Structure 1
Amino acid sequence: MMNNKKIILTDVTMRDGMHAMAHQFSDDDMAVIAKALDEAGMDIIEATHGDGLGGNSLQYGLAKNTDAEYLAAVAPQIKNAKLSVLLIPGIGTIEDLKEAMQYGINTVRVCTHCTEADVSAQHIAFARKNGLDTVGFLMMSHMIPPEKLVEQAKLMASYGANCVYSTDSAGNLTPDGVTARITALREALPADVHIGFHAHQNLSLAVANSIAAVEAGADRIDVSLAGLGAGAGNTPAEPFVAVCNKLGIPVGADLYKISDAADNLVRPRMTHPVQVDGKSLMIGYAGVYSSFLLHAERAAARYGVDTRDILVELGRRKMVGGQEDMILDVALDIAKQAK
């Protein structure tokens, strides 16, 4: 279905990447990275706590700065791109969004579990009414078949979303699963509603899945410098843009500039390698929310159990984003069973 349309790239280095950094990017870090992304031609740049507006908490992780401080640092650096924030209803509120709007944001991505689009109605309607590029973000989209995803996407579009994402939060999908979901969304939604795709690298398929999404009709793709993100990371911007260049898929980002930003700004700031290893692989294999990784590692160390056992059990119980508090319960159960 590729027709040489320009693909809109949303960079999530400073949002999903915050999970990999235990939310410890400083506002100065974000300012430097945002400037480089803008100069490299990124279309949309997202910056908040990893769990979005309101996520700065003991439950989800305390960040080095507040969302307001991050946005105040990032906004002046962006001259051409759109500035985006993420909002998960139940974590962030409309009041949080109002505050973010004071910093000149252009885009908000309203996230729900893939079966719970109805909880986004007020947030999406408010954002659209106030002139924001309003995106519905259906997380853990591997957990339901394409026809059910379409039902939820239609709800988000009816509330006012001008773009709806199939979000592979667990990095569990393979290219055929991506193709099925994006094709179904494109066929079901109005032509003026964009379709987006967000991948994770847990099965080493992020670039392949993102290309499959483009071929199936996606308009927007999420990328991250050096792949920085939860679990094994997100679709790495540099190889994705390189592959797009090879295939003749138009993207606005400059390959050299994003490669320099990844090598010189992001990798030196990493606190640990973001890669496919035994633990992040289990996230993709078991279909677990990618940002559970660091939480599971801490729980494993606390109770003396294997991180992989925690992740597999979380997958068996079908835990989803927002249930981080259950990770300790699972670790404790495993520790008790081992005695």
Structure 2
Amino acid sequence: MSQVTILDVSLRDGSHAVRHAFTEAQVRAAAKGLNAAGVRYFEVSHGDGLGGSSLQYGLSATDELKLIEAAASECTNSDVSVLLIPGIGTKQDLQNAVTAGAKMVRVATHVTEADVAAQHIQLGRELGLKTVGFLMMAHMAPVEKVVEQAKLFESYGAEVVYVTDSAGAMLPQDVTVRVEALRDALTCDIGFHAHNNLSMAMANTVAAVQAGATFIDGSMRALGAGAGNTQTEVMVSVLEKYGYATGIDLYKLLDVATDVIAPIMQQPQEITAGSLVLGHAGVYSSFLLHAQKAAQQFGVDERDILMTLGNMKAVGGQEDLIYEVAQQLQRA
């Protein structure tokens, strides 16, 4: 039976969905449940990674270092991961996260910009962390470019390289061709991160595993940006039915999803008009709430904002464009 490592992102990607308002008590309870269920890694930080708490990306209700420390204190089987986007998070932020208890770092860049991550990948290895390269918006580059950038991550010391469908824009064949290409080109492990904006997250996850990915992301109750991620508890069940070993106790995972995560959610995760357009236009999933806010402020349709951003090929880090586009649509 092939082994798949599940990484739960409810306490990081889910931060977008709850407007970065996690409390220490909520994080501690979720961490305790994930640890008991045998989830090997789970991620804790602002939705946009270390240092993301800002006016541009959204202010955190609780200092993320306190959340990391609370989560790490509950871990006996699991390890805490953090996300770091160079230009948002710094090397000092990573060192502080390690002091708080982080054991893994995932250094995330746009799919064509892996070269900005060399120093952060190298620092992760020096600090003794499980160190991962995270190629965001992977639908925006041809396969050859994805392979080129993945090779850069591996050359810097990444132990895992992720194909990341940040917009939830991929179809299973898009996932398969990218994962297979990385599997053929790299010696490190391959990971996959999905969003469900086109209702493809589970199908894409299965495609990734069948193509050779061994690290897979999910979030409990699908709590995440846009329409959310592959639902962790469902994914565990599906992968085990396919014959893959996850090492996770499904009943205990269901308990934490039901008793801890569900009460935190401001609304059930579903594919709304806005999240569907995210996937259709290929727009970064965390843009959804910003687009909704801008649409209300300027009296325009959030779908028009997102479609315009898609045509502009906007990427993460360009949140200021959302409000510019909304203002331009109002004038038009």
Q: Partner of 1:241 in structure 2?
A: 236
CA shift digits 1:82-136 (9 cap, x unpaired): 1100000000000000111112211000000000000001100111122111000
**1:266 maps to 2:261:** yes
Give distance in 1, aligned partners of 2:252 and 2:302.
Answer: 37
**1:130 maps to 2:119:** no
Task: Identify unmatched segments of 5+ residues in structure 1.
Answer: none
- Amino acid in structure 2 at the alignment position of 1:123: H
CA shift digits 1:56-88 (9 cap, x unpaired): 111100011111111121111111111100000
Task: Give the alignment's TM-score, normalised by structure 2.
Answer: 0.99
Give distance in 1, aligned partners of 2:145 and 2:238.
Answer: 31
Residue of 65, 90, 98 corresponding to 2:87: 90
**1:319 maps to 2:314:** yes
- Between 1:8-17 and 1:245-254, the stretch displaced more is 245-254
Which consecutive aligned stretches of 4+ in structure 1 deviate over 6 angstroms post-superposition?
none
**1:18 maps to 2:15:** yes
CA contact (8 A) 2:2 2:243 kept: no
Give distance in 2, aligned partners of 1:31 and 1:170.
Answer: 29
Q: Partner of 2:324 in structure 1?
A: 329
- Amino acid in structure 1 at the alignment position of 2:280: Y
Q: Partner of 1:106 in structure 2?
A: 103
- The Cα of 1:53 is off from its aligned counterpart by 0.4
Give distance in 1, aligned partners of 2:112 and 2:159.
Answer: 19
Residue of 55, 60, 63 corresponding to 1:58: 55
> What secondary structure is seen at the aligned counterpart in 2 of 1:77?
coil
Q: Partner of 1:229 in structure 2?
A: 224
- Amino acid in structure 2 at the alignment position of 1:64: A
Q: Partner of 2:272 in structure 1?
A: 277
- Amino acid in structure 1 at the alignment position of 2:46: H
Give distance in 1, aligned partners of 2:251 and 2:118.
Answer: 41
**1:72 maps to 2:79:** no
Residue of 41, 46, 53 corresponding to 1:49: 46
- The Cα of 1:28 is off from its aligned counterpart by 1.1
Give distance in 2, aligned partners of 1:264 and 1:82.
Answer: 21
Give distance in 2, aligned partners of 1:332 and 1:130.
Answer: 45
Give distance in 2, aligned partners of 1:184 and 1:104.
Answer: 34
Give distance in 2, aligned partners of 1:9 and 1:36.
Answer: 15
> What secondary structure is seen at the aligned counterpart in 1 of 2:16?
helix
- Amino acid in structure 2 at the alignment position of 1:115: T
- The Cα of 1:186 is off from its aligned counterpart by 0.4
- Aligned residue pairs, count: 332
Give distance in 1, aligned partners of 2:256 and 2:277.
Answer: 29
Q: Partner of 1:301 in structure 2?
A: 296
Task: Please show how residues 158-307 of structure 1 align to structure 2 within 5 Å.
Answer: 158-190=155-187, 193-307=188-302
- Amino acid in structure 2 at the alignment position of 1:75: A
Task: Identify unmatched segments of 5+ residues in structure 2.
Answer: none
Give distance in 1, aligned partners of 2:191 and 2:199.
Answer: 20
Give distance in 2, aligned partners of 1:137 and 1:100.
Answer: 18
Task: Give the alignment's TM-score, normalised by structure 1.
Answer: 0.97
The percent of aligned pairs where both chains have the same amino acid is 54
Give distance in 1, aligned partners of 2:323 and 2:8.
Answer: 31
CA shift digits 1:166-208 (9 cap, x unpaired): 0000000000000000000000001xx1100000000111111
